[in-house]
Structure formats: C-alpha cells, structure tokens
C-alpha cells in the first residue's frame, strides 16, 4: 500500500527534494502530494509524474490544510519558518511525523512533550546550515570524544556562493537563496561567540569589518564574518568546556568590506518606510542617504562620505551595480531601504538559467588527545548544475528527503522535537549524501588555539 508524503511549499530549495522522493516512489511505494499556493509554478517534470499529486493549498484555510495533513503518512514543511507552527500543531492532532529545514522555534520546542508522548519524530534543522553542519560536526566531535579526546575549539563556516565559472561580477557573488536574508544578515543584536575562554561581541555596525580568512584547496581564499549567535549549540554539541566556539558566513575576499558601505549608509535598514519609493531611480535612492550639496554630484558626495578614492576596488563594485543610473527605477510602494537595496541587487545578482552556484562549508576542530593538542580542518564544496538544480537546493533538499524516508521507514525513531545531532540520524544520512558527492575532506593541521607565549585573551 502506497504511503503519502505531503510536501508543503515548493520553492527554490525543493528541486532535489522532490526529485529524490519521486525517484524512490516505485521501490518505496510512495505517493507525493505537493501543496502550494501557486501550483502552476511547479515544474511539469514533477507535476506530471504518475506518483505525484499537486494541490492548490492555502495553509491559512484550516479545513483544506487539516484534510491534507490527516491524509498524509508524514509531513515535510518547506514553508517560511513562522508558518511551521500551524503545521506542527496539526501534526500533533493527527499524529504525523514532521520534517523541516528551519531553526527550532520556541513554539515548536513547546510541543516536545506531546510529540514524545505520541511517538512522533519532529525533525528540524535538517537542511544545509542548519543541517549538514550539525551532522558533519557531530560525526567528528563524537569520533574525537569516543577516543578520549577533549574538545578545545570548534569553528564552522558556510557560504552560498557563485561557482567559479559563473563568477562574472566584481562582488564575486550572486543570490543562491532568499535575497532578503542576505540583505538583513547580522541584524537584530550583536554577534556573540567565545574565543579562548573569553566572550566576544561584535555590534552590527562593525560586523563586516571583522573577518577571518580560509583557504580551500582548488578554490582559493575566502573570508568569513560572524553569525549572530555562535553559542546556541554549545550544549547540543557537548562543547560546554570548549574554549573557542565560532560560527560564520563565508564570502569571497573583499565582499564584506564593500558590503560595509551599505551598512554605513543605512541602506540595509528595514525599520522605516520611504514614502515616495515607487518610481525612484537607483541614483535618487543613493542620494537619500547623502548630505545636500548645490554643486557636488551624487558620485562625488558618496566618495567623500565613505572616504573612498576613485581607484578603490569598492568604487568599481558600486559602479558594477549601476547604482548611479538615472533611468533604472524601483517599482516598490512604501518600501524600506533594505527592500529597495534588495531590488537593486537582484537586478545584478540573479543567477541566469545556465549559471551555477556553489556551496562551501568549512569546520575546524581543536582538541587535546593523550596530552597533545591537535587540530583537524574539514571542508566540502558542492557545485550546482543550473539555476533550477542548484547546489543550494541539493544541500538543503537532499538531507530533508533522506531524513523523511528514514523516519517513514522506522530507521530514525527516537521521538520528540529534535535536530540531527545523534548518530542514529547523522550516520545514515551522511553516508547517503556521500553518494551524491557531498563529502568532507579532512586535514590534520597545527593547533591554532591559545599559545601561552603570546599575550592574548
């Protein structure tokens, strides 16, 4: 008898997820139901599959949402994170397992006892970051601690970037996931982490000027800026005694220094509305943030304000975005500065049909074993195929799909609200991901932690 997997939301990150489940549908006896607000946008390669049914579903329509969930064997929510709670409450009511790629919210966490009582697996954070980062980190951390090692340092970095062959702008960047999240990155409080036993904080206005450099064999040098809260996984990873815990986002070298210009200007602000935003030219948008001058051009005012010379590479990056163009218009009504900046960036940074993206993940593990301090660095690079089958959709969608099938088949069975940090979860999923080319290369390197000969802290 066929088992029904209900996938809610079929956005950018679902191509590999749907492909995987439909490819397995015959041997695993699966029926895939895709519920989406705009079913007409779902590619025919999925919608026309004999084991796939597409339904128009507005999750705010309680009756149709509950009916779809009640009829499913397991539910996968790829909806925006704030909407998961509606689905989760229904999954409790109808006793269905739930899988999401999103961070565990307080509302979802509050369902833990009920999920356990009903024997339900509520698997969250099972995409890329969070997801593959958890699983690949825990595999190495468990290996070290199982041998009697003591963890001293853990750093983890992820970047959704453009593949080298499609890298055609001065920013060395194109959007491979939600552009809004890129524009608002780092806002909402200081980045916090721990370094050699000392708590460190970086306020938003300085975030993009504090970067770390990483080399990836075959792909060159990258930079990384701090994520907002590196300490939230300290307990989950069993790293309460670690002296250094840091998580960051990777970009090509020079991106952060250039992005800092938008932060200084106030263009990433999402807290107020520009009343006359509709029809404003790119040039007029830039001029909003600059002092009035009866004689100086917008270009000259901007260079003075940011203290950048004409031969500064950052100036070239600004020109690359056509931000001084008088003819290009922003069609957004009552938009925030961040929304207007996002529109301008999407004009330049959208992947073309045949262009490829790239995912890079990098971990550092510092530990003490038999009285010696050691370090393992591990990295993974995944390249996309085109704008539809992206590395981002592969690294987010495949872990979700594999976990869904593992839960459905009773291989992952520990109930409750959880993230993928147990061996029951990460062993089979990482093993299968390797068959799709998602494998970490490990290197033993000199331990780079605290040196008592240096003054620090």
Do 8 and 105 share a domain, yes or no? Answer: yes
Q: Are residues 144 and 266 in the same domain?
A: no
Would you state the pLDDT for residue 288?
Answer: 96
Tens of pLDDT, residue by residue over 19-42, are: 999 999 999 999 999 998 888 888
- What is the reported pTM? 0.90
Tell me, yes or no, whether 300 and 322 share the same domain: yes
Q: Examine the domain organization and report whether 56 and 147 are in the same domain.
A: no
- Which pLDDT score is estimated for 139? 96
pLDDT of amino acid 232:
86
| 119-136 confidence digits (pLDDT tens) | 999 999 999 989 999 999
The answer to whether residue 413 is domain-embedded is no
Query: What is the structure's pLDDT at 375?
Result: 96
pLDDT of 1: 61
The pLDDT of 131-160, averaged and rounded, is: 95
Q: Give a yes or no: residue 398 inside a domain.
A: no
Both 367 and 235 in a single domain?
Answer: yes
| Contact in structure between 289 and 298 (CB atoms under 8 Å) | no
- Confidence check: pLDDT of 157 > 60: yes
Question: What is the edge-to-edge ordering of all strands in the sheet holding 3-8?
Answer: 52-56, 30-36, 3-8, 74-77, 97-100, 121-123, 416-418
pLDDT tens digits, residue range 423-438? Answer: 999 999 999 999 999 9
Which pLDDT belongs to residue 189? 83
The domain boundary, picked from 295, 330, 349, lies at 349
* Same domain, residue pair 193 and 318: no
Q: Is the same domain home to 340 and 291?
A: yes
Ranked by mean pLDDT, the top range of 127-131, 191-195, 326-330 is 326-330
Spatial separation of the C-alpha atoms in residues 310 and 81, rounded to whole Å: 43
Residues 43, 100 within the same domain: yes
Same domain membership, residue 363 and residue 327: no
Is 453 domain-assigned? no
Q: Are 171 and 320 in contact (CB under 8 A)?
A: yes
Query: What's the pLDDT band for 77 if we cut at 50, 70, 90?
Result: very high
Mean pLDDT of 96-112: 94
Q: What is the mean pLDDT of the chain?
A: 93
**Residue 348 confidence (pLDDT):** 94
Q: Are residues 26 and 73 in the same domain?
A: yes
Judge if 112 and 8 occupy the same domain: yes
Q: Which domain holds residue 148?
A: 132-253+354-390+439-445
In three state form, how does the secondary structure of the chain look? CCEEEEEECCCHHHHHHHHHHHHCHHHHCEEEEEEECCHHHCCHHHHCCCCEEEEECCCCCHHHHHHHHHCCCEEEECCCHHHHHHHHHHHHHHCCEEEECCCCCHHHHCCHHHHHHCCCEEECCCEECCEHHHHHHHHHHHHHHHCCCEEEEEEEEEEEEECHHHCCCCCCCCECCCHHHHHCCCCCCCEEEEECCEEEEECHHHHHHCEEEEEECCCEEEEEEECCECCCCCCCCCCCCCCEEEEEEEEECCHHHHHHHHHHHCCCCCCCCECCCCCEEHHHHHHCCCCCCCCCCHHHHHHHHHCCCCCCHHHHHHHHCCCCCCCCEECCCCECHHHHHHHHHHHHHECCCCCCEEEEEEEEEEEEECCEEEEEEEEEEEECCCCCCCHHHHHHHHHHHHHHHHHHCCCCCCCEEECCCCHHHHHHHHHHHHCCCCCCEEEEECCCCCCCCCCCC
Predicted pLDDT of residue 451 = 52
Neighbours of 251 (CB within 10 A): 23
**Is 417 contained in some domain?**
no
Give mean pLDDT, residues 85-107.
94
Could you tell me if 9 and 147 lie in one domain?
A: no
CATH number of the domain to which 15 belongs: 3.40.50.720
């Amino acid at each position: 008898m066929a088992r029904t997997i209900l996938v809610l939301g079929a956005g950018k990150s679902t191509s590999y997820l749907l492909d995987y489940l439909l490819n397995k549908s015959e041997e695993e006896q699966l029926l895939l139901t895709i519920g989406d607000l705009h079913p007409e946008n779902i590619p025919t390669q999925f919608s026309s599959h004999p084991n796939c049914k597409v339904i128009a579903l507005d999750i705010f329509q309680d009756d149709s949402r509950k009916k779809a969930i009640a009829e499913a064997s397991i539910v996968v929510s790829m909806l925006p994170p704030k909407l998961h709670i509606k689905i989760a409450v229904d999954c409790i009511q109808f006793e269905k397992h739930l899988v999401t790629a999103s961070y565990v919210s307080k509302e979802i966490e509050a369902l833990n006892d009920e999920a356990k009582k009903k024997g339900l697996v509520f698997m969250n954070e099972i995409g890329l970051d969070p997801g593959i980062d958890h699983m690949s980190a825990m595999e190495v951390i468990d290996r070290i601690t199982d041998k009697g090692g003591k963890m001293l340092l853990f750093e983890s970095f992820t970047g959704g970037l453009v593949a080298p062959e499609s890298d055609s702008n001065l920013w060395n960047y194109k959007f491979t996931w939600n552009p809004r999240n890129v524009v608002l990155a780092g806002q909402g409080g200081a980045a916090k982490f721990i370094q050699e036993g000392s708590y460190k904080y970086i306020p938003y206005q300085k975030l993009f000027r504090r970067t770390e450099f990483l080399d990836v064999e075959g792909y060159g040098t990258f930079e990384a800026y701090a994520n907002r809260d590196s300490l939230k996984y300290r307990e989950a990873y069993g790293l309460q005694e670690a002296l250094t815990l840091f998580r960051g986002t990777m970009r090509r070298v020079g991106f952060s220094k250039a992005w800092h210009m938008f932060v200084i200007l106030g263009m990433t602000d999402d807290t107020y509305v520009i009343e006359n935003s509709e029809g404003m030219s790119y040039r007029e948008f830039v001029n909003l943030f600059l002092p009035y001058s009866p004689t100086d051009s917008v270009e000259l005012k901007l260079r003075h304000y940011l203290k950048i010379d004409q031969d500064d590479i950052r100036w070239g990056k600004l020109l690359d975005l056509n931000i001084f163009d008088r003819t290009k218009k922003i069609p957004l009504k009552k938009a925030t500065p961040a929304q207007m900046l996002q529109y301008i960036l999407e004009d330049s940074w959208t992947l073309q049909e045949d262009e490829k993206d790239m995912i890079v993940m990098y971990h550092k593990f510092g530990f003490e074993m038999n009285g010696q301090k050691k370090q393992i660095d591990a990295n993974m690079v995944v390249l996309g195929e085109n704008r539809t089958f992206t590395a981002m959709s592969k690294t987010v969608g495949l872990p979700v799909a594999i976990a869904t099938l593992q839960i459905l088949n009773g291989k992952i069975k520990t109930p409750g609200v959880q993230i993928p940090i147990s061996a029951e979860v990460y062993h089979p999923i990482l093993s299968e991901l390797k068959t799709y080319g998602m494998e970490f290369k490990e290197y033993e390197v000199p331990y780079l932690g605290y040196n008592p000969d240096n003054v620090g802290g």
